[in-house]
Amino acid sequence: MSRALKTELCDLLGCRYPIVQTAMGWVADARLVAATCNAGGFGFLAGVTIEPDKLEDEIRKVMALTDKPFGLNFHMWQSNAAQAIDLVVKYSERIRAVSYGRGPDKATIRRFKEAGVLCMPTVGALKHALKAVELGADIVTIQGGEGGGHTGNVPTSILLPQVLDAVRVPVVAAGGFHDGRGLAAALGYGAVGIAMGTRFLMTRDSPVPDATKQHYVAVNDVAHIRVSHAVDGMPQRHIDNAYLLRLEADSGLKRVLVALQCAWKWKAQTGMSTGHMLRTAASALREDGMSVAQTLMAANAPMLIQRSIVDGRPDEGVLPSGQVAAAIGELKSCAEVIEELVAQAHARLDAIAALTRTQETLS
């Protein structure tokens, strides 16, 4: 058993180690969240991709599988955002934090605070970190460009110190982390912990079908885990596969047709009304600066990811992944991942402490 590695994040979230499992759509289900929390980390349930009539059941399932606190991820644009907010407040004795992108207004954030729930948005740019803190974020997770799925172009090594210098709330580092050396480095920068997505996707506790997991294990060159705009017009990091290459080669008209099919399926699956979908599209155009093409393609990502991540058809969908997949060669349990990561972090921190003592002796 590894020694405790306690930071301010552990006190805030109620976890043993400063290690966060991110809310990957279709991946961060009750089982993965509970496995992470039972192993000493802190897991976020992916509320965005859970069907509205199943969300409360999934929350209660986490509560049945672990007695540890956990988090819920949601976005204000989803059709059941109000339901998600109400459930967070209802189960606030167990849901310690919420994660989101740019979303909740000050009134919603105030409601979370009154319930004792921490607001922990994920951002990929300095300006978004500053805005999140202005709105009331308690903790900020920054994701560097090495991360999977939607990502920016600033690497963690640059973004992390920028945000640390600019905000006065605890900062968690994400994007490019998978081992204890990364955790030790993040703590050295001044972060209070790390968040990982791909590392937890690539575990035996992950619900991703084995056929798809093997695609992640097989990739061993970061050149094949690259950013593409072909899925929904926004930069997303994926593992190369035949479907992504075909999507990139398609004409603009064909991509739009694929997007419309995905949008219709997403509407049916989430229970989103036509009116809500149109209002969300108008908001994206007006407030987020998205183009018409990007707005039309917005539903592509969840549906194309579902094919590979849920249905187990990795050659018929896309494979969101951080660059660290190329450094992970086997599937372990969450408990094994976290224990090994913490032990390695201690080894590196001990080595640094020994070096400091040696320097003091020499001086």
Q: Is the pLDDT of residue 295 over 50?
A: no
Contact between residue 134 and residue 145 where contact means Cβ atoms under 8 Å apart = no
List beta partners, residue 122.
141
3-state secondary structure of 285: helix
pLDDT for 144-185, tens place per residue? 999 998 899 999 999 999 999 999 999 999 999 999 999 999
Task: Decide if 10 contacts 17 (C-beta within 8 A).
Answer: yes
pTM for this predicted structure: 0.88
pLDDT, position 2? 47
DSSP string, 295-358: HHTTTHHHHHHHHHHTS--TTSS--B--GGGGG--S-B-HHHHHHHHHHHHHHHHHHHHHHHHH
Helix, strand, or coil (residue 8): helix
pLDDT score of 283 more than 50: no
Residue 289: band (very low, low, confident or very high) from pLDDT cuts 50, 70, 90: very low
Strands across the sheet with 19-21, in order?
A: 118-119, 95-99, 70-73, 42-46, 19-21, 193-196, 171-174, 140-143, 122-123
- What's the pLDDT band for 291 if we cut at 50, 70, 90? very low
Q: What is the pLDDT of residue 251?
A: 60
| Angle between helix 156-166 and 180-189 (nearest 10) | 30
Taking every pair of C-alpha atoms in the chain, what is the biggest distance, in angstroms? Answer: 71
The pLDDT value given to residue 298:
55
Question: Can you name the residues that pair with 196 across neighbouring β-strands?
Answer: 21
For the stretch 304-358, pLDDT in tens is 889 899 999 999 989 999 999 999 999 999 999 999 999 999 999 999 989 888 8
Residue 337: the pLDDT is 98
Q: Is it the case that residue 265 has pLDDT exceeding 80? A: no
**Domains of the chain, with CATH numbers?**
8-207+332-359 (3.20.20.70), 217-323 (no CATH)
- Residue 141 binned pLDDT confidence (cut-offs 50, 70, 90): very high
Residue 4 reports pLDDT greater than 90 = no
Q: Is 312 exposed, middle or buried (0-12, 13-18, 19+ CB in 10 A)?
A: middle
Q: Of 208 and 254, which is predicted with more confidence?
A: 208
243 neighbors 314 (Cβ within 8 angstroms): no
β partners of residue 95: 70
Region of poorest pLDDT, from 65-74, 222-231, 291-300: 291-300
Residues near 309 by beta carbon (within 8 Å), at least 6 away in sequence = 25, 26, 27, 208, 209, 212, 317, 319, 320
- Which tens digit of pLDDT belongs to each residue from 107-133? 999 999 999 999 999 999 999 999 999
Mean pLDDT in the chain?
Answer: 88
State how far the Cα of 140 lies from the Cα of 105, in Å rounded to an integer: 16
pLDDT of residue 280: 43
Residues 6+ apart with CB under 8 A from 142: 122, 123, 124, 129, 156, 159, 160, 163, 171, 172, 173, 174, 175
Mean pLDDT on 35-44: 98
**Amino acid (one-letter) located at 29:** D
What's the pLDDT score for residue 77?
A: 82
Answer for the pair 118, 96: CB distance below 8 angstroms, yes or no: yes
